[in-house]
Chain A
Amino acid sequence: MASMVKKSLKKLESKEAITKIQAVIIALIIIIAAGIGIIVYYFVLPPPVEYKKTLVIAIPEEPEGLDIQQVSWSNEIHDLIFQSFMNFNESMGMVPDLATNVVMEGNNITIYLPADAKFSNGDPITAQIVRDSIERYRKLSPYGSDYDAVTGYEIIDSHTLKIICNVPPVYIWFNDIPVTYGDVVDTNVSSQVGDAAFNQNPIGPGPYKVKEWVHGSYVLLERNDFYKTNLPFVQNKGPNPYIDEVMIRFIPEDLTRVSELEAGTVDIVRGVPSDAVANLKANPDVTLYESITPGIEYLMINVRRPPLDDVRVRKALIYAINRDEIKTTLEDTVLPCYSYMSPSMLAYNASVEEHASQIYAYSNETAKSLLAEAGWVDTDGDGIVDKDGQPLRLELLIPNDEPKFKKIGPLLQAKLSSVGIDIDYKEFAYNYIRAKTRDWDFDLAGRFYSWFDPAGILPYLLHSTMGNYTYSNPEVDSLFDEDRSTALSPTERTALYTQIQNILLEDAPWVPLFIDVTYTGVRKNVEGLLVMPPFATLFIQDVKVKVVKGG
């Protein structure tokens, strides 16, 4: 080593070595070249795009559990862990997702699985597993009765399963095949680890799998490298190469959730409160996605309890409420509603809503005259109508954990009082109010539903035996039964639900109030996100999140 150094020094001292001027010139060339390089890199070439590897989503409430077969409501986490056989496209048409095809013929549904379909742990998804999964769902899920019509199965081959039913399985077709609740789970793992453990770390075929669940704080999902989809509306049919992990944080406080979005510390926020909508619309860093809820918010009426057993009194309640005032109070984040279905539902008929809005247009006078017709007039001039010496006093139950309902509660009280009804206003948690309505222990109760298929929700609220609420009409029951047991075409279904709604408009068991519009706040640097109906489901197969300097 020392000899090499000596040799180099000698070379420098020799005539062959470069002169000082040459050295300076070379140094200058190097400096200039470096300078040009730096200028080109920073000012001429577009900056290299960096992408975040973790997508952060903030949601208001932690799920009950992660196993879709053990929960009564699903959320974004279940949508990412599991994968439906079919799914809905933008126009609510059913398209293949996990399955290559699903066919309903006669009393059977046949599911065709891809030969290479796998769960996130690499286990193959076979016809036998799908069969076992359906049977587990029937036993465990609160919605297990969805499959009551199933009488048997035929495993045609290892990737084709025929579900045999005793009626045309239209109910399963709409309410389970394209929905997260009906998704396949790895029953081999669930039976090995037990249901409680599986509820914490379930195995499904969805684009992500559970990495960590910190109770009360977040669920961290990591990419499922076995994921494949047949969805026609996503470009990337396999694992998303840009998003390694998805962190779903539970932030119950509205202001905190929105502040995290504004600060750029979360990428997507669900459940944007109505009072933050205007502010976020004006924020140049945020995009707001609007979604019409597949359901309505309404007042359920106890039609068995006098004087509400008189249809004229019930109709008076409908006339007394001004939907436009509700919309204004809720800062235009809802749609007025006069009928029983939402435009985001299957078999929706806009003409029913138009007809209902005409016949039940807000009219204080009509409300008062209907009450008078029913014998309720203000005889003593105290502002409260009475009959046989008894004032018309009704208990109004408003859910205090539903922000929009809570906000319009006083308005409803004021409008009903303005026609002479003495309103006993009470606020409770929504679940408690629902339990009270199930026990028929109420007068007027703030309720809502959210489900895209009318057959999957309206009978549970309005059928005499399926719902067991106070309303009962054999004609309505038979129409619901007909839909559940007959393979009707979409046009026939729309006609059937038009007929049902027309009867309901006459019977007036509910006071329809509004259709909720939900908002999803997304940072502008999130690219490729799809927010799809009916439940504003997030599809993140094509998502890339650009790194924003200083953001």
Chain B
Amino acid sequence: MSALLRYSVKRVLIGIPVILFVSLFIFLLMQMLPGDPIKLIAGERVTPERIEELRRSWGLDQPVYIQYFYWLSHVMTGDFGYSYVTRLPVSLLIWSRLPYTIQLTFTALVLSYVFGIPIGVVAALKRGTAVDNITIGVATFFYSMPTYWLGLILMLTFGLYLRWFPISGSSSLESMVLPLLTLTLPYVAMSARIVRTEMLEVLTEDYVRTAWAKGLPSRRVILRHALRNALIPLTVMFFLDLPWIIGGAVIVESIFAWPGMGSLLYKSILKQDYPVVQALVLVITILTVVCNILGDIVSAFLDPRIRVEKEA
């Protein structure tokens, strides 16, 4: 078994108790939140007796540890239970929104790298020129702009006044343009800035200078020697960002009425819909553990020094 494989297996084994601990932590945290979920969901015209009946029917009159083990044993079989608020299966609520979330946030993440990397490389290569200044100025502008404001400006300009794209909704590919732009622009800016900084650092390294001195073509020096190393932090960041794709983008989803996971998580926390919040946090936790491991493996693949350190 190679050192990298051994390391990966070890990480997976550590990941399991982490997931269990987080599940317990979030369960207790939800219990500690002020307010009683049954009183929160019960309407106005409800007697105290009816509230108690509802509490019994949801099993909330049981001690917390029994509730936790009951929930955990069902989760093991893939049953996340039922939402207190909608009375619908939690898995159904999650699965119905997951495609929309992946469609929007994953696309935004990929596009941000597709555009951010070349912009960052060009800015680094043209360091100190007008191209660099304009590129980084625009990037800083979009990076510092509040998402809410950017979304509304894009919606009013391209949706209401110019009518180029639908104002909101999720019924067509065109509906995706404005929310995607709102999400992608700050991400592109962030990626471009990271790539530029990393490239500037790498370009001064001895091995790059050697490559230039050997008379290698510029394209080969930049892409194979400089960019490959400059991308390592961005790669790790990509894997760390992946779990939060599931969390969605609450503000953008709200502005553009996009039916993603962000609004589901936000609404469920507000309404203390424990089963939904617990399921979503558990899914995000599992993804975080998995993506961390994947991030380590990929960065080790890209950077041989990491492999050597791990073997040592």
* A residues less than 8 Å from B96 (CB atoms): 214-216
Cα distance, A260 to B256, chains bound together (Å): 11
Q: How far is the CA of A249 from the CA of B168 in the complex (A)?
A: 10
Contact of B89 among A64, A196, A461 (CB under 8 A): A196
User: Interface-forming stretch among B33-41, B233-241, B285-293, B297-305?
Assistant: B33-41
Closest chain B CB from A271 CB (angstroms): 13
B41 neighbours in A (Cβ, 8 Å): 72, 431
Chain A positions within 8 Å of B63 at CB level: none
B contact residues around A429 at 8 Å (CB) = 270
Interface size class of B (residues with CB under 8 A): 35 or more
Does B243 touch A at the CB level, under 8 Å?
A: no
A145 B47 Cβ-Cβ under 8 A = yes
Q: Smallest distance from the beta carbon of B176 to chain A beta carbons, Å?
A: 13
A-B contacts, CB under 8 A, total? 134
The contact string, 1 if C-beta is below 8 Å from chain B, for chain A 252-265, is 11011001101101
Q: For B48, what are the chain A residues with a Cβ–Cβ distance below 8 Å? A: 465, 468
Bound state CA distance, A196 and B82, in angstroms? 9
Q: Which of B23-38 contact A (CB under 8 A)?
A: 34-36
Of B34, B40, B49, which contacts A145 at CB under 8 A? B49
Most buried by A among B44, B86, B257: B44
Instruction: Give 29 pairs: A residue, B residue, CB < 8 Å, sorted on A.
Output: A73-B43, A142-B43, A142-B45, A145-B47, A146-B45, A196-B89, A200-B88, A214-B170, A215-B92, A216-B97, A216-B100, A251-B257, A256-B256, A259-B159, A259-B160, A260-B167, A260-B168, A263-B167, A401-B270, A432-B34, A432-B35, A434-B39, A434-B40, A435-B35, A435-B39, A436-B35, A457-B45, A460-B44, A468-B48
A217, B261: Cα distance in complex, Å = 12
Q: Tell me whether A460 and B47 are in contact in the complex, defined as CB-CB below 8 angstroms, given that A253-B255, A262-B160 are known contacts.
A: yes
Q: Given A196-B87, A256-B167, A436-B35 in contact, is the A143-B257 Cβ separation under 8 Å? A: no
- A539 in contact (CB, < 8 A): no
Q: A64-B85, A265-B167, A429-B270 are in contact. Are A259 and B100 (CB under 8 A)?
A: no
Chain B contacts for A457, CB-based, 8 A:
44-45
| A174 within 8 Å of B (CB atoms) | no
The reply on B163 being an interface residue by CB < 8 A is yes
A530 CB → nearest B CB, Å: 26
Query: 16 other contacts beyond A256-B168, A434-B44, with CB at 8 A cut-off?
Result: A64-B86, A65-B86, A72-B43, A142-B50, A215-B96, A216-B97, A218-B171, A249-B257, A253-B168, A255-B155, A263-B159, A263-B167, A401-B270, A431-B40, A432-B35, A434-B39
Decide if A215 touches B34 in the complex (CB within 8 Å): no
Q: Is A195 an interface residue (CB 8 A)?
A: yes
Give residues 148-163 of B contacting A (CB, 8 Å): 152, 155-156, 159-160, 163
Residue of B nearest to A181 (CB): B45
Chain A residue contacts of B36, Cβ below 8 A? 435, 439
A64–B86 Cα gap in the complex (Å)? 4
